[in-house]
Structures are given as structure tokens and as C-alpha cells.
Structure 1
Amino acid sequence: MIARFLLLATVASTSFVAPAFAQAPADQQPADQQAESGTDIVGGAIVVTARRRAEALQDVPLAVSVLNSEALEQTGSYNIQRLTQLQPTLQFYSTNPRNSSINIRGIGAPLGLTNDGIEQGVGIYIDQVYYNRVAAATLDFVDIEQVEVLRGPQGTLYGKNTTAGAINITTRAPSFSYEGKAEISVGNLNFKQAKATVSGPITDRLAIRIGASVTDRQGTIYNVATNRHVNSQDFLGLKGSLLWKATDTLSITLAGDYNLQNPVCCAQIYAGYGPTQRATNRQYPALSAALGYQVPSTDPYDRLTDLDAPLKARNEMGGASLRAEWDLGTGTLTSVSAYRYWDWRPSNDRDFTGLDVTTKSQNPTQQKQWTQELRYAQEGDAIDFVAGAFAFHQTIHTTGSQVQGADASAWLLNPTSPLSSIPAVLEGLTADNDIRLRNSSAALFGQLTWHVTDRFDIQPGLRLNYDRKQGSYASVVTGTASDGTRQSVSFASTDPWIVAQRGVLAPQAFNAKFSDWNLSGDITASYKVSDDILAYATFARAFKSGGINLNGVPLDATGNPQLNVATVKPEKVNHFEVGLKTQFWDKRATLNLTGFWTEISDYQAIVNNGQNSVLRGYLANADKVRVRGIETEFSIRPSDRVNAYASGAWTDPKYVKFSNAPCPPELSGGSASPATCDISGRILPGVSKWALSYGVEFNVPTALLGGDGQFYIGWDGSYRSSFSSNASPSAYMNIKGYSLANLRLGFRNDDGFNIYGWVRNLFDRNYMEVLATTPGNTGLIAGQPGDPRTYGLTIKADF
């Protein structure tokens, strides 16, 4: 950790060597520079690239929210997870970087463990490069200029798998004026964070930018078995870019980045017990009593655990991109070429207890991806258009393993069986999994804006997409037979020990392919009621790519994989949206309203496979899902001394028809329990009906430290109502609604110096981020509590 901070100090020190650079106050800048500087605390970045060209936010007929660098820094939003407190319709869930999901308006990815063969429904773009893995969203931001959250299908311009929306992140570009930024934060829980960036010219046509970020924090959960804190933070991020102005009309940017997380993580702890349909002697209270076990605390907010397996969540990601932008006079030709890799090396405790049930459960993954996008954009008096092509190729290799321990027999086998009292039956039972995927995609796309009149526009868009996936799954299981020999667990064996073992971990192997063409599109009509009022309506026909189940599939009575569920059909989306964007009071106030109705056929949903100790479910297609809602965004700046914002969303998500869904825990596990349940009309997981975010900042002009400045105090709050944390709504798996408040107090001046103290979760609210069922259907529920109150001090300076 010390070495990382020394690296940051080296980067920061170079900024003192360069000539000092300071922006003029916003009211002294030209209008176009004022727009780019972003003077509002939240949503202040006026210029966006949501339609692949720079334009005013209020002129874009699209539900899009923008956070500029100042908003991100002041509110402590240094990764996407923290953005959820500022964006009511953005949901992010993560039990570790691999098992993460991002949803917008309640849709995007199934809530549960990641399946390599299925893709997400929220596109993540950083500097116009598509990131196919949600794991990218767990990384801290490095040198960010602004974040745009685009809500609703974005398939025409942002690709096939943006049925819920897209997150478009832009980092700072190299500058031809010398500049530097440095920031350091310290806080409780031994929180330390440092950021530094420096930029300037190498020649009159070549500029460079280098940025780095380090975050370290003690874990929020204490493991009494190892006497150390877990669920810590440990992040290193490096980013560099070169901008070459090859000619007056051609710019080429070469960028590279390296990111590493290596925390002691990730533990989910005892959150409760809910009786299932299993026999009483096979549920958590009886099993734990028989083994003489008791959790350190039954109150999850004591933040104690006794997990006995090693925890590791090493998450490495990096890549390089080459972007060329050529002004042809009539339009701009853009090429974006990129390579990215992801290396995930975990270690988990998947029995969620201090018992020796599962000593190892992990899925190390290596991914590589290549993308190429070529597009041409032109603006005219009557018609603007964007047309392009996109190619994507990805390889994934996952080598999972699961090993059972000495307590597995007593925990997983029926206590009435004599084998349950013999630890050796399941001790050392091992499943070695090999998962491979080759994923290729190609597309042609175009969007046209026809200015029918000075105030009325019609904007149609189309995308033709082709997907091809080839995947394989192989699980080789070995165990100890009754004669003491190690052998493969097979369905041919009649040895009673092997029979018991394959009921816990069953071998299987299969290959599967998926390919499909898809034509999707959208059309938007917008009308400028006045210079400050824009009304629009959109219809979109979108899709999310089908895929392959690569977590294993159910087996028939003879042990053969049920290949009819090896592939998953694409989601088909019909989306309707109306919106109103307004500004008033001499543009000091902004009020935007959006209403939407989204219907999804063949929704990709989690289904349990029923095996005793396997958490991984598989995906199947629910017949139909509907999500509808209303969103509002309001910001106001009555004077230079005060600004405030408020955003809210009412979201109504439900399964319209899902008659063969997995049953909730309370209806599962018994000999008479239904194989499936009809949850038609029930709510989707992970989304609150009501969500709010709000904030206000006051400042007082003060001459201090040799320049004009201001003392300020800011308050940010968020609220979300209760939501389900299980694929099928369960009485045990609802997370209660909660509100959070953050406070900051500081001083900043016009030279770029800023010092402030901050408190997050000011009132130390106890809340759960996610709840999960555990192996064996014992009724044990694990949970991940949100951060307690944290506080600290940040000092930052521009040079």
C-alpha cells in the first residue's frame, strides 16, 4: 500500500513543475466553455454526447442524467455503486466483482450469480469503448470528466445489449495547456484515497495525460475466526493517453489503463432464518444444533462472522484503445479500436458459516475482448445522421472448483441416513469445472434526424445485428468410495457413498451453440414548444442477445444434461416513452418529466436447479415482463449562493406471465413441494417502487488564502422503498426501505483549492444491500449489510 501512495506522490509532484494553470470563473468564460465547465453540483454538465455528437442536454429527446466531475468528487461517488444514491432509477448489486449486476428501471440483468454465457442489458461505455463485463463497474473512477446515464433502450447507437439503458463515461482528454490535479482523502475505518493527474503538451501537436488513483479501507465486517476485518477496499488505477493532432482535421488518441482490486473480500453473513418445506431435522436450527454450532451474532448489524475458508477477490482489468476522429468538412468519421482483458481470481466461503461444509467454491475467470467501431456523423440544415458498423469478439475461460469439508455429510445428507454421521463420505468431494465461451457479434446501424420544421424533428434509427456463441461446460467430480479409494463420481456406480456424492455434486458435460440475426430500431418525434420547452415521444423495438447456460443445467434420471435448456432465447422489448424537458426562471431552474412503459417477451430469469449444494442456478425465459413508471428531475439555482436538486421515480415492475418459475424458499424443499410456481403478477427483484435523491448546497463568499473563495455546506440524501432480493418474491427475502444522508462542509477558492470534511450515512442507518439463500435449502439466509457511518477529510488542488 505504501508503494502505491508513493506512486501517486510521484505523479502529483510532476504537476508542480509545470506552469500553473487555472480556469477563469464560469461567468467570465465564453458561453461554450461555460457549458463544458459544468457549474451545477449535480446534473451541471450541459454538453452531452448521448447521440454520439456534442449537444445541449436539454435539446436531447432522451431520458438522460449527467454527473460532471465536480458532482462526482463532492458527493464521494467514486464508482458506479455510489451513483445509485444520486440516480433513483439506477440499481447496482454486487456480492463480489464477478457476481455483479447493473439495472436501470429494474431491468438489465438477472439478480443472482453470474452466468458466463449470458450478457447484460445495460451497456457500459468508457471513452466510447464497450465493456462487456459488469465487473468493470466495480472499479473506482480514474480521471473522470462526466458520467451520462441513458435510460431506456439505446440499441441503435449503443449496441445490442442496451435494452435497459447505457452508462456513458468520459474521461478527461489530454490538454495543450499545462495542468495538474491532486487529491487526498483520509477517514475512519483507515480510509485512504489519493488521486493525481497531470497533462500538457509534448510538442505543439502532441499532448499527454497521466492519471492514477489509489483507495484503501479496512473491512466493515470482523471475522472472529481469523481476527481480521473483511470486505475491505483495495484499489489501484492507472490511466494514460496521448492526443496527436496529426492535421488540423485529424485527431488520434491512444489510451491505456490498468486497474487492480485485491481486497480481503467478500463475506456475506448471517441475516436470518426462514423455515422451508424440508423436514425439521434438515433445517438450519436442527443442523447447527446437531453440530454444536452457533454464529457469532444473530444480529447482522453487529457485523461479525466466523467464516473459515480463505477470502480473496483479486480483480484485474486493463486494455488499450485507439480512437481517430477525422473532420471531413461535410461530417466527421470516427474509428474506435480497442482490446481489453479481465482476470478474476477469487476465493469464497459458500456455506456462509464457520462450519467446514464447503472449503472451496470459486470460479477464476480470464476474459479477452476486441472491439472495432466505425461511424460517420453529419449535420445539415434539414437532416442530421449517424451511420456505422460495429464488431465484437470475446473469449472467456473459467476454471471453477468446489470442495466439500468434514461437516458436509452432517449438513447436506439426510440425518436419517447412516452416511450423514460419516464425515469421510463427503469430505474431499471435489468438482472441477471448465467453462469456455467464444462470443462474436457484428452490426450495422444508423440514426437520422429530420428537422421537419425549426421546432419539429423526427428521428428514426435501425440496427442489424448478428450474434454467434459457442460454449462448453464440463464438471468432473471425484470423491472417496466406501472402500477408501478415490474415484470419479459417475452415474454408473452403485457404491452407496458415490450415490450420495452425486446427489450433492453431479458430473456433467455438454457443448452448445447459439446464433441469431436481429433487426431492431426506434423512432422519436420531438417538438420545441418554446425555446425552453421540449416535448418528445419514443417507440423502440429492442433486444438482448440470447445465450448459453454455462453454470450447468439440470440432469435427467440417468445423469444426462437436459440440453433443451442449454440455450436461452433473446429478450424482445417493446418500449414506449414520453418526455418533457423544461427550463424557466431565466434558465435558473430545470424540470424534466418522463413516463415509460416497457414490455419484455422471453425475459431471461434465474431458475434454480434443485441440487443440494450448488448455488448456481440456470437461466430460462419467462413469458412476459412489464415495467412502467414516471421519473422527474428538478434542479434550481436561485442565486450564486444556493443550488439544489431533487430526482424521483415511481417504478412498477412485474412478471406478467411466469408460470414455471422457481418457488421461493418457503415453498421449497419438501417431498410434496411443487417443482415450479406461478409468480405471474408478482414484482421483479431488485427494484423499489419509490426512489428519491435530493440535495442542496449553500456557500458564502470569503477571501482566504490569497484569493476569492467560498465556504460551503452541502447535504445529499436518498431514499428507496422496500424491494425483493429473490428471483421469486419471498416473505423472507424482502429488504426494507431505507434513507441515507450525506453531509459535507468546506472551503474552496477560484484557484482550484478545495478542502472539506464529509460524513456519509450521517445517521448510521442499518440497511441491507442484498439477501441470498444458501446451499442445502436449510432456511439460512445470508446478507450483505451496507456501509455504516463513515467520515473523513478531503484536500484537493488544481495547478
Structure 2
Amino acid sequence: MFDRGNAGTNGAISGRSVLLTVLACMAGTTFAAAPAHAAVEAEATEAEAGNGDILVTARRREEAVQDVPLAISVLDSRAIEATGTFNVAKLTQIQPSLQFYSTNPRNSAANIRGLGAPFGLTNDGIEQGVGIYVDQVYYSRIASATFDFIDVDRIEVLRGPQGTLYGKNTTAGAINITTRAPSFSPEGRAEISIGNLGFVQAKASLSGPLVEDRLALRLAGSATRRRGTIFNVATGNHVNEQDNLGLRGQLLFRATDSLDLTLAGDFNRQNPECCAQIYVHTGATQRPLSRQFAALAAAFGYAPPSTNAFDRLTDLDVDLRAKQEIGGVSLRAEWDLGPGTLTSVSAWRFWDWDPSNDRDFTGLPITTVSANPSSQRQWTQEFRYAATGEHIDYVAGLFAFHQTLHTSGAQEQGVAASRWLLNPTSANAHNPAVLNGLRSENDIDFKNTSLAAFGQLIWHVTDRLRVQPGFRVNYDRKTGSYVATVTTGSGSTTLNNDQRGVLAPQSYRSRFSDWNLSGDLTLSYDVSDDVLAYATYARSFKSGGINLSGLPLDAGSNPILSAGSVKPEKVNHYEIGLKTQFFDRRATLNLSGFWTEINDYQATVTNGQLGVLRGYLANADKVRVRGIEADFAARPTDRINVYFNGAFTDHEYVKFTDAPCPPELAGGSASPANCDISGQWLPGISRWAFSYGGEYALPAKLLGVDGKAYAGVDGSYRSRFSSNPSRSAYTNVGGYALANFRIGFRTEGGWDLFGWVRNAFDRNYYELLATQSGNTGLIVGQPGDPRTYGATLRATF
């Protein structure tokens, strides 16, 4: 059982039966990587065996991390702070198997090994394939991943399906975030960072007892501001800025020697002027030349402020807003009962989203309003019992989830829309009044209920051989309605064909319900004291969904109701791994090979209509992702630490015969309605990705104070990837390498002062590329951050 006398550091069981693994200590910075595919009750202890191994109680007994056959990469708070990893997007630079793409907080996706969420605009009717958990609470909105980490103790990235203990939302893996727990010993932390671009970030936390040995409180806060990286010549403002505020509080009540109750609450707000995608280049489509970007822009006498995206200029003429608020409360009970621990986690969360976007990506009044404010509420309840026996360890539990979502969206066309969107042969193409003021008001409702029972067992067949089966049975019910009311500029609901082709009135209801069974089996064998081999098979699924962004239209401009829902994804996953230590356990090398196949893969597609700005969902027949990962860490001396993490990922649509065509094959009267992209790349996945780093520290004095001077580097590389659901020559993002440096001085008393530079060589790169609606050939993109630099002062007391 876990030690309740040390609850300030490790008294809470890791989130939703998550394994905490800590692997290489880097001069006060810990990086870890260990292969795994299922998770069981775990907590870490920083006690060391005589040989220096870091120990974990991953399966309810103390054991070295290298003895645990579970795939996970872990960063503790020191690694997070040293590398400036203050959100999930930054985490990708030191975790090569993790990808994160975002055009705004709502339209974000976290993928592991390239899987998790379809590439494109978020559709609320489906769920992510990478689960995000904070203190054992499931966060259903991927927008939560865009917030700054608050008072984080560790972050765990689990690679591969985790459906047995994490649920249907983890077909690709899970990101588990654990914050620091309330302490019965008074403690505090404070940090301030300043940098170029007006960057200011402040963090603080305080913890201590309210009633000795019975009641402890922890409070934490974080605030970040930074000027935008793109200048809007139309407004005189810098856009794509940062403006984040986060607050968190926890109250730990030690009701008895065997029962802990933790009440937690948090509130997070973002309100930046964001998010702009800007001109990158143009490419020829099948549209007539007179209807492609160059000719259309010339007809209006329009030119973008720069044709070099890294001039970081735009002229967007619609107000940009990405305001969101996320928060909630949870109550966790942990009760030592019989041979194990009974855990209950109850939580309520909210998400409010208030956006404004310029969806034509130009300074022309084509689409003058594009906003879909949403309000979501979710309730979750989990009961879990974990026990350890002489030959059998097990975890069993129940989980319930309910979500409601309401969106009141709007889209309105401007005075330039007729000429830009309508066929020149139409009599209305040169009449601005036809589309000017054409407006769609969207009313969207969604309800999602999920119930599950799960269990996992570890059988110690011999001292060296272990068998670990697991299962999860899940029931889902989803209902949704979509109503789009379209009016002309004069307020009429009577539309002509050109108007219906741009903004079509729709009204439909969709429903989905299904039972599913997930399971996995892991075999592990201790080849020697320093070598562990394991093999895993997992059968998992991602719940089916319903389309909540409007449906494609038939020849009569009526919604195709058969596209109202998508089938569940069915996942077959195989993995083998080897975990080794050598050089007197000063070095660790972990290798894993994986093969994942998904039938009925949920993809985002678009239809050929000119005015369609949103994609809808469809099932690709089959996709495959396979690869090899390596994680190496070494501490050759007490002063030097190094690490290297690498991944090779082969990926393709095995069969997708009715996919959307890439822009170079779309838009013409003879263009195919769909294309066979079987054998092509999946979007968002680099074949090669790696990260590396190291730190050198030596004893020193600063102003007469003893401490350590240190210098560190962290680098990453990602090879080329496709940025379109159907691979296009126009939207391939070139590979790029980034390097970050830091140099500083830290004391044993808790002071740390260091300077840092990120993207030190000012590498120009794109986070993603996208196409303009209507196949005009315009390609827009999101440039990555330029070189940034600054200093951080941190104190622990």
C-alpha cells in the first residue's frame, strides 16, 4: 500500500490507474522513457536501491522502473521547468512520438505515433484518440491542452492503445498530468520569466497544513503574456499572441489513517488576439484560370501584404478572437480497504468558447463573419479497486461519463463573395448583392453518455515470467441536432441556387449507440537482472460519432442524411520491446517496435462545393502505422547527463478509395468526385523524428554562494509531413530542426537563475499548411515561433 505519511509528495495514486515511470536524472532534470501498453495502479518513489535504480510501485510492489513492461515517457517538474515545456505544444519538441497541431484552441489535435484525431477542423460529434487526464480526471476537450501547465509534478505520455484502463478515448495513447499534491509541511515556489516579444510569465504555489496531520491546502497560479508573432497591417496589431491565466486549489483531508479525501478546483482563461493563418503560396487547381487566386485577386486589385510568410505580415479584415474558459471541480477518495485500495473520482467540468475567425484568409470581404461559440458541460465518475496478492495483482473498476454541448454559430458572406465564390457563367457572379449579407445561423446540440466496466490482472507465473490480460466493456449513446437557418442580405429565407450552393439551410438529427469490448494481453520476461523483454497485443476501438458541422449536399443542395454518422474505429495493435541497462546501470537503452492497423478510420473530408468551409466525417477503410522507437539516457559522470529519443514511423492509407481529392485535382467541371488515395501518407506524421539533449554542471560560487553552474541543450528534428487529409504537393511541410540552449546557476537552497534561447538558429518552419475553401489554389500556413530569448528566476522555499 502507499505511504500516507508522505502524501505531500506521493500520496495520490497516479491518474486513472496510470503508471508513473521516472528514468534518467539529468543534473536536476529528469527525463524518462519506457515501453508499455497498459497501465496499472502506480506511484513513484524517489528512494534508490543500493545500485542507484529509481524505484516504482507500478504493480503494488516496489520495483525498479526497468522491470516494468509498460510504454511510457515521463517528465518530472524539473525537466518541464528546465526546457520551458509549459504546454502540450512545447512538449512535442522533446517527445518525438507526440504530435500536436492547432489552428486555434478549439481546432487542436494531440496525436501519438500519428494517430488520435483526424487532421482538419474539429468536429464535436467524435472523440479524440489521445486521452488527456489531469489528476485522474478525463478532459474531453482537446482545447485544455493549449493552456499553461499549473504546478505540475509530472507528465506521462503513454504510447499505443490504452483502452483497458483508460477507455475508448485512448486508441493512440494518453497524456496524464499530475499536479503537486497538498503538503503537511509548509512549502512554496515562485518563478518569473521575461523575454523578447514582451514575454512575461509568472508562476507561484503555496502549500501547508490547516490542521496538523489532518487538513492541508495547496494554491497555485500562472499567468502568461506575449506579443503576437504576426503583424496585421489592416489593424496595426500583432496577432497570434499569448494571454493565459490559470488558478488551481486543492484541499486534502486525512479523514482516517486509511482514508484520504482531496477536493480540487481550477479555472483557466485565454483571451488572445488569435489565430491567423497567412499567405504562403498558390498552386494550380482544376478550376478555370479566371477562377483561381491570381485572377480573382487581380479582379479586385488585391495583393497580400507579403508573399513571404516569414515576413510575418497579414491584412485580415475580420476581428480575431480565441477566448475560452475551462474549469471544474473534483473530489477524489482513496481508501485502504482489505488487500488493496478503493479509489473514487467524481468530477464536473465546463468549457466556454467565444471565437472569431477570418476564414477566407485574406483582406478581402469574402467571409466577414465566422464564429461558432460553444458551451460544454461534462460529468465523470470512476470507482476503481486495486489489490496485490502473492501471485496475482489486479485492478477493477466502473466509469461513467456524460457530456452536453451547445453551439450557436454564424457565418456571413461579404461584398466580394459573389465574384470570388460563384461561377463566372452565373448571371449572379458580378452582382455583389446576391451574396453580400448572406448569413447562416447555426443551432447545434449534442449529448454523449458513456458507461464502462474494466479490469486488468497480473499473474506472476514464475519469478521471471508474468502474464497481464485486461478488458473493458463500453456502452456509448450519442444524439445530436444541427439546424442552419440561412437568410439573404435583405432578411429573406427564399434563396436562389447560387445562394444555396454557398450557404445551404439544413436541419437534421443524428443518433449513434453501440456496445464495444476492448482487451489486451502483455507477456513480460526478465532475460537477466538488467534486461526485460515484453510483447503486447491490444484490440481497441474509438467510439462511432455523428457529424455536427453540417452534411454534404446532393445535386439538389439537400443534406445527404446517410453521412450523418460514422462507424467506430477498430484497432489491432502489436508491440514488442526490450529494456536494458548497462555500464553499471549508468546508461539505459529501451527499444520498441509497433504495428497498428485501424479499420473504419475516422477521417475529415470535404465536398466539392465552393462555399463549404467545414469538413465532415467519413470512414476510411483501413490505415496502418508501424515503426521503431529508441530511448537512450546516460549519466557517465556526476556532472554530465545526456539523452536521445528517436522514432521511425511508416504510415499509409491501406485502403481509401473514395477520399477527397487533393487541390491540384479538384475544382474543375471534369474533376473526379473522389480519389483513390490508397497507399498514400497519412497527414501529420513525420517518418523520422528525434530529440536529444544534455546538461553539464560543475560546482561554483556566485556572489559568495555555493551552488552549481550549468549549461544545457535540447534539440529536435522532424522530417517532412503531409498537412492535408489527401496528400498534396502544395501542402507538404518541409522537415526542420530546432535547438534550444540554457545557461545558469542553481543553489542547494532552492534558487535557480538561468538565461535561455529557443529556436536558437531562428529556423523558419511551418506548424501546418491549409487550403482556402473553394479550390482557388491559395495555400495558407502558420509559421512556427521565431527565435525567442529571455531569463528565468525561480525560488523554492
Scaled to the shorter chain, the TM-score interval is over 0.9
Equivalent position of 1:280 in the other structure: 289
- What pairs with 1:394-793 in structure 2 (closer than 5 Å)? 394-480=403-489, 485-490=490-495, 498-704=496-702, 707-793=705-791
Structure 1's unaligned 5+ residue stretches are: 1-20, 23-31, 491-497
Secondary structure at 1:419 match in 2: coil
Paired with 2:442 and 2:313, the residues of 1 have a C-alpha distance of: 32
**8 Å Cα contact 1:35/1:47 also seen in 2:** no
Secondary structure at 1:137 match in 2: helix
Shift in Å at residue 37 of structure 1? 9.2
**8 Å Cα contact 1:47/1:57 also seen in 2:** no
Distance 1:186 1:280, change over 3 A: same
Equivalent position of 2:219 in the other structure: 210
Paired with 2:262 and 2:459, the residues of 1 have a C-alpha distance of: 32
Deviation string 1:175-217 (CA, Å, 9 cap, x unpaired) is: 0101000000000000000000000001111000000000000
Equivalent position of 1:342 in the other structure: 351
Equivalent position of 2:131 in the other structure: 123
Shift in Å at residue 500 of structure 1? 1.5
Counterpart residue type for residue 580 of structure 1: L
Secondary structure at 2:488 match in 1: strand
Equivalent position of 2:42 in the other structure: 53
Paired with 1:690 and 1:641, the residues of 2 have a C-alpha distance of: 31
Deviation string 1:404-452 (CA, Å, 9 cap, x unpaired) is: 1111111111234342222111110000111111000000000000001
Equivalent position of 1:493 in the other structure: none
Distance 1:539 1:47, change over 3 A: closer
The alignment status of 1:103 with 2:92, answered yes or no, reads no
Equivalent position of 2:164 in the other structure: 156
Deviation string 1:545-567 (CA, Å, 9 cap, x unpaired) is: 00001111112233432111101
Shift in Å at residue 700 of structure 1? 1.3
Paired with 1:47 and 1:526, the residues of 2 have a C-alpha distance of: 12
Secondary structure at 2:559 match in 1: coil
Paired with 1:633 and 1:529, the residues of 2 have a C-alpha distance of: 19
**Match for residue 31 of structure 2 among 43, 51, 54:** 43
Shift in Å at residue 454 of structure 1? 1.0
Paired with 1:757 and 1:161, the residues of 2 have a C-alpha distance of: 39
**8 Å Cα contact 1:206/1:243 also seen in 2:** yes
Equivalent position of 1:138 in the other structure: 146
**8 Å Cα contact 1:508/1:560 also seen in 2:** yes
Amino-acid identity (%) = 66
**8 Å Cα contact 2:23/2:30 also seen in 1:** no
Secondary structure at 2:742 match in 1: strand
Secondary structure at 2:429 match in 1: helix
Counterpart residue type for residue 553 of structure 1: L
Paired with 2:95 and 2:24, the residues of 1 have a C-alpha distance of: 21
Equivalent position of 1:14 in the other structure: none
**8 Å Cα contact 1:489/1:502 also seen in 2:** no
**8 Å Cα contact 1:489/1:506 also seen in 2:** no
Counterpart residue type for residue 43 of structure 1: F
**8 Å Cα contact 1:376/1:387 also seen in 2:** yes
Paired with 1:410 and 1:36, the residues of 2 have a C-alpha distance of: 61
Equivalent position of 2:250 in the other structure: 241
Equivalent position of 1:361 in the other structure: 370
**8 Å Cα contact 2:215/2:253 also seen in 1:** yes
Distance 1:578 1:212, change over 3 A: same
**8 Å Cα contact 2:418/2:435 also seen in 1:** yes
- What pairs with 1:361-400 in structure 2 (closer than 5 Å)? 361-400=370-409
Distance 1:33 1:60, change over 3 A: closer
**8 Å Cα contact 1:38/1:44 also seen in 2:** no
Paired with 1:105 and 1:401, the residues of 2 have a C-alpha distance of: 35
Distance 1:359 1:34, change over 3 A: closer
Equivalent position of 1:5 in the other structure: none
- What pairs with 1:81-96 in structure 2 (closer than 5 Å)? 81-96=89-104
- What pairs with 1:222-261 in structure 2 (closer than 5 Å)? 222-261=231-270
Counterpart residue type for residue 84 of structure 1: T
**8 Å Cα contact 2:694/2:713 also seen in 1:** yes
Equivalent position of 1:187 in the other structure: 195
Secondary structure at 2:276 match in 1: coil
Counterpart residue type for residue 401 of structure 1: A
The alignment status of 1:308 with 2:317, answered yes or no, reads yes
Equivalent position of 2:47 in the other structure: none
**8 Å Cα contact 1:553/1:609 also seen in 2:** no
Secondary structure at 1:71 match in 2: helix
Distance 1:201 1:666, change over 3 A: same
Shift in Å at residue 606 of structure 1? 1.2
C-alpha root-mean-square deviation of aligned residues, in Å? Answer: 1.9
The alignment status of 1:297 with 2:302, answered yes or no, reads no
Paired with 1:478 and 1:534, the residues of 2 have a C-alpha distance of: 66
TM-score (norm 1): 0.93
Shift in Å at residue 232 of structure 1? 0.1
Deviates more, 1:148-157 or 1:54-63: 54-63
Counterpart residue type for residue 241 of structure 1: Q
Secondary structure at 2:471 match in 1: strand
Paired with 1:473 and 1:86, the residues of 2 have a C-alpha distance of: 41
Shift in Å at residue 161 of structure 1? 1.4
Secondary structure at 2:635 match in 1: strand
Distance 1:335 1:706, change over 3 A: farther
Structure 2's unaligned 5+ residue stretches are: 1-7, 10-19, 44-57, 59-63
Q: How many equivalent residue pairs?
A: 760
**8 Å Cα contact 2:34/2:73 also seen in 1:** no
**8 Å Cα contact 2:72/2:156 also seen in 1:** yes
TM-score (norm 2): 0.93
Shift in Å at residue 50 of structure 1? 4.2
**8 Å Cα contact 1:755/1:793 also seen in 2:** yes
Secondary structure at 1:202 match in 2: strand
Secondary structure at 2:335 match in 1: strand
Shift in Å at residue 46 of structure 1? 10
